[in-house]
Amino acid sequence: MSDADPSDPAVLVSDRQTEPIDIEDLVELARTTLRGEGVDRAELSLSFVEEAEIAALHERFLGEPGPTDVLSFPLDPDDVDERGVRVLGDVVVAPSVAARNRPDDPHAELRLLVVHGILHLLGHDHDDDAKRAEMWARQERYSGVRSP
């Protein structure tokens, strides 16, 4: 948590890949998304990984082969640590896959994927048309990027 504002959402970053990315922008976007969803005193992990790592996670946890662009691993929504901070879970993003998804603007795709992953951590889904429309509208509002 931030020493300046203990209610500010904390975003713990691990960058385990080689693509150049603007981590500061993505962390601020994550905080903006959480605040916009009414979440404060919270913590999430945001990892940027190589394709091999996300492919292994994709197969292990979803039973699907090959790399994907983003995965979310939510923790118990009622899990609050000793500091009174809600620990949301992990968002894992593969920047090289994002770059293939949107070669004209890979940073925009990263913004979209970070928001997408956070919305999944918060319980949003896109398994029917109505839910998809709502989630896509939220993604665009926070990321400033339209989904294809």
- Whole-model pTM? 0.92
The CATH architecture annotation of domain 10-143 reads: 3-Layer(aba) Sandwich (3.40)
Buried b (16+ CB within 10 A) or exposed e, 6-35: eebbbbeeeeebeeebeeeebbebbbebbe
Left, alpha or beta for 2 (phi > 0: left; psi -120 to 50: alpha)?
Answer: beta
Confidence of residue 64 (pLDDT cuts 50, 70, 90): very high
User: Quick check: helix, strand or coil at residue 132?
Assistant: helix
- Output 71 or 84, whichever has higher pLDDT: 71
Q: Give the pLDDT of residue 1.
A: 42
Q: Give the pLDDT of residue 6.
A: 60
Per-domain residue ranges for the chain? Answer: 10-143
Q: Give the tens place of pLDDT for each residue, 38-50.
A: 998 899 999 999 9
Percent of the chain with pLDDT over 90: 82
